[in-house]
Amino acid sequence: MQHKTKSVFLLAVTLIAGGCSRETVQKMYDVDFKPTNRFAKNLASLPGQFQKDTKALDALIQSFTGKVEKRWGSKNVKIAGKTNYVKYIDDYSSRADVNFDQGKVVIETVSSTEPLSHLKKAIVTTLLTPDDPKHVDLFSAKKVAINGKPFLYRQILDQDNKPIEWSWRANRFADYLIQHQLKVKQVNFRKSYYVEIPMVENQVEIRSYKYASLIRKASRQYGIPEDLIYAIIKTESSFNPYAVSWANAYGLMQVVPKTAGKDVFSKIKKRSGQPSPAYLYNPENNIDTGTAYFYLLKNNYLNTIKNPTSLQYSMISAYNGGAGGVLNTFSKDRQYAFKKINNLQPNQLYWALTNKHPNKESRRYLQKVKNYKDQFNAGKL
């Protein structure tokens, strides 16, 4: 008891001095921040946006990949993800892979009959794919309905450095690519004819501008800073409205229907059930739902945290690993965990969540979001 009192006193003195190092926090603040099971029975589960819910998605992808393997082989399966758009057409013989992280588009075909004709069709389809994800089924080879402004408008320029919006320009660029940049490789004992198209340097900014009004609207409605919403979208999807992930999460803010989506429907929208993938693929619905979930984190699940900066760090971490993951970083007893958090400076809390959070992915997640927030505020996002 005497030792504990002495430790608390020393910690208080250090905090008042304002120079508490991470080593001091780690050594003095209750055994290296390692979770303890001492009060496990007292910690009610707190919802997490990315609690894995993949049963339906797993079944869909298993069926889908089986069809892809027949054409491309088991080693050449590509599937849409958070930051890449993959679409198959022509009975799975042609595909486009738009990699937003690399800023590169690869369009290829393994068709054995008239491959260049199939490749041109795939190029034109990719260039004119609409901006609305509801028109595109990523887990089939269904034809893409071409209407409205293209998804990749201004993110790819043709041979004359012009953006591609109309069919005539897309067809002309496709002819140019096949004539001047055609490549061939072996894929599963077949020839793959393909082209690679670089995206413009500021492709992320171009996509982000499209959602500025929606982000501003959600920010004002729920009291969540715009820079945080931008940083979350950049982290989750790189502003890819077609994004889908392993956690059965959809759209720009990668909302999971069964967890965060259901929570928002129940507590904020006063609706039963949960949002459908089609609902979450709508950018306005997605940004609204993701931001509303941050409102719940701020005002319901983590509202005991007093410092605004510490609260925001905790909200970011909880968006990825759940509010329970944040608290478990400090104690299995919820009230004690909140007490610990409120006794830390924001930089100390940040260090703990990026070094001692039980989930390694959540540690990296907070770092990424903070970096993107800083970039946004410096005018670089």
Same structural domain, 196 and 218: no
Same structural domain, 145 and 89: yes
Q: What total of structural domains would you count in the chain?
A: 3
Same structural domain, 195 and 226: no
pTM (2 d.p.): 0.84
Same structural domain, 222 and 349: yes
The answer to the question of residue 222 being in a domain is yes
Instruction: Report pLDDT digits (tens) over 125-172.
Output: 999 999 888 778 999 999 999 988 999 999 999 999 999 999 999 999
**What integer pLDDT is reported at residue 41 of this predicted model?**
36
Same structural domain, 260 and 369: yes
Same structural domain, 165 and 307: no
The answer to the question of residue 42 being in a domain is no
Same structural domain, 271 and 191: no
| Cβ atoms 107, 78 nearer than 8 A | no
Q: Is the predicted pLDDT of residue 176 greater than 50, yes or no?
A: yes
The answer to the question of residue 41 being in a domain is no
Same structural domain, 109 and 141: yes
CA nearest neighbour of 29 among 321, 333, 317, 339 = 339
The answer to the question of residue 66 being in a domain is no
CA separation, residue 372 to residues 80, 233, 238, 380, 381 (Å): 23, 10, 11, 9, 7
Q: Is 381 helix (H, G, I), strand (E, B) or coil?
A: coil
Same structural domain, 225 and 372: yes
Percent of the chain with pLDDT over 70: 85
Look over the chain and give the mean of its residue pLDDT values, rounded to a whole number: 87
Contacts 24+ apart (CB under 8 A), 178-185: 178/116, 178/119, 178/120, 178/123, 182/116, 182/119
Please report the DSSP string for 234-300 in residue order.
Answer: HHHHSS-TT-B-TTS-BTTTTB-IIIIIHHHHHHTS--SS---HHHHHSHHHHHHHHHHHHHHIIII
CA distance 147 to 129: 8
Rounded to whole angstroms, the maximal C-alpha distance in the chain is 84
CA distance 294 to 223: 9
CATH label of the domain that carries residue 227: 1.10.530.10
Instruction: Report pLDDT digits (tens) over 311-365.
Output: 999 999 999 999 999 999 999 999 999 999 999 999 999 999 999 999 999 999 9
**What integer pLDDT is reported at residue 55 of this predicted model?**
66
Same structural domain, 266 and 289: yes
Q: How confident is the model at residue 250 (pLDDT cuts 50, 70, 90)?
A: very high
| Domain end call among 201, 227, 255 | 201
Instruction: Report pLDDT digits (tens) over 330-339.
Output: 999 999 999 9
Lowest-confidence segment of 126-140, 154-168, 178-192, 197-211 by average pLDDT: 126-140
The answer to the question of residue 184 being in a domain is yes
Same structural domain, 369 and 225: yes
What's the average model confidence in pLDDT over 89-113?
97
CA separation, residue 155 to residues 23, 57, 165, 194, 239 (Å): 46, 30, 11, 19, 12
The answer to the question of residue 151 being in a domain is yes
**What integer pLDDT is reported at residue 108 of this predicted model?**
98
The answer to the question of residue 12 being in a domain is yes
Domain containing 19 equals 2-33
| Domain end call among 168, 201, 234 | 201
| Domain end call among 171, 201, 231 | 201
Same structural domain, 301 and 370: yes
Q: How confident is the model at residue 17 (pLDDT cuts 50, 70, 90)?
A: very low
How many residues make up the chain in this entry? 381
